[in-house]
Amino acid sequence: MHSLFSQVQIGRLTLSNRMVMAPMTRSRSDDSGVPTELVPTYYAQRAGAGLIISEGVFPVALGKGYVRTPGIETAEQVAAWKQVSEAVHARGGRIFMQLMHCGRISHPSLLPDGSLPQAPSAIKPTGQTWTASGLQDFVTPHALSVVEIAAVIEGYRQAARLAIEAGFDGVELHAASGYLPEQFLSTSSNQRTDEYGGSVENRARFVLEVLNAMATEIGSDRVGIKLSPEMNFNDIVDANPQETYTWLVEQLRGLNLAYLQLPCSAPASTTTPCCARCSMAAT
């Protein structure tokens, strides 16, 4: 157990212990995506972890997927998040902001001017999302043009910068759980025929371009990524996940990110140590 309480290096940070608080949606923001006064207290109470990863934060308003979730796009949002980072740092903690663009996992009632959710292809997912009026069926999303993809990537870049301005120690790209980055990665949700679809290299292009944009803005050693191969959450399926994620992770090696986060998939009966099967480790 002593290893759990020993220091570990994550990018440019030295964490006081190896316990990491996972991101969990709290829905404690107002309708404009500004965290309420409950949020600094909530995170400060958990600052004893070596690292906190915040709840999913939409980088742009069109990335919102659930009611009362927070953003990092406006001055009001930045000011509210600064109170959170200061509260965590005051107790000796470290905190990364998880950037979560939900893509097609959203609903027009949650988006500016009732816009359609964004996605790589106009394929309606099965399921529902929480809105102000309760659960609503997903709709057929808007397929992003190449110009619109560039704007989304720019939104991630600006969000990374604003997270640092708000006092966060780094950012995590949520590329799991069926949200926009995984929608580009997966064959069931990406049926494009341009440079962002088809081959694994093309389907991974969006994720790599987002990571490069954020790393260029704030430094790769302050950027992490979360992946969830074969999780199949939010109606996401890939025809060959082993090929997709093996290729993607090989590309991540050259980016010098702070960490790669993978879900634990080791069955209870396995003889392989869990730490060899899943990781939150430097790439």
Span 186-208, pLDDT tens digits: 999 999 999 999 999 999 999 99
Residues 107, 62 contacting (CB under 8 angstroms): no
The per-residue pLDDT for 154 is 98
What is the CB-side half-sphere exposure of residue 96 using CA atoms within 13 A? 31
What percent of the chain is predicted at pLDDT more than 90? Answer: 89
> pLDDT tens for residues 115-174?
999 999 999 999 999 899 999 999 999 999 999 999 999 999 999 999 999 999 999 999
What percent of the chain is predicted at pLDDT more than 70? Answer: 93
- Checking DSSP bridges between strand 118-119 and strand 8-10, what pairing results, if any? unpaired
CATH superfamily of 2-281: Aldolase class I (3.20.20.70)
Q: Of the candidates 31, 3, 30, which has an alpha carbon nearest to the alpha carbon of residue 19?
A: 3
Instruction: Using the predicted structure, report yes or no on whether residue 264 has a pLDDT greater than 80.
Output: no
**Quick one: average pLDDT of 15-22?**
95
Residue 98's pLDDT band, with cuts at 50, 70 and 90, is very high
Over the chain, what is the mean pLDDT?
92
- Checking DSSP bridges between strand 8-10 and strand 13-15, what pairing results, if any? antiparallel
Residues 48, 93 contacting (CB under 8 angstroms): yes
Q: Measured between alpha carbons, how far is 8 from 130 in angstroms, rounded to an integer?
A: 38
Overall pTM surpassing 0.75 (yes/no)? yes
What is the CB-side half-sphere exposure of residue 111 using CA atoms within 13 A? 24
Q: Measured between alpha carbons, how far is 127 from 137 in angstroms, rounded to an integer?
A: 6
Residue 179 a catalytic site member = yes
**Quick one: average pLDDT of 31-39?**
97
The per-residue pLDDT for 263 is 75
Catalytic residue (choose from 179, 196, 245, 259)? 179
The per-residue pLDDT for 209 is 98
The per-residue pLDDT for 32 is 96
The per-residue pLDDT for 185 is 98
Cα angle vertex 191, ends 65, 116, to 5°? 30
Phi, psi (rounded to 5 degrees) for 215: -65, -40
**Quick one: average pLDDT of 86-96?**
98
**263 burial via Cβ count (<10 Å: 0-12, 13-18, 19+):** middle
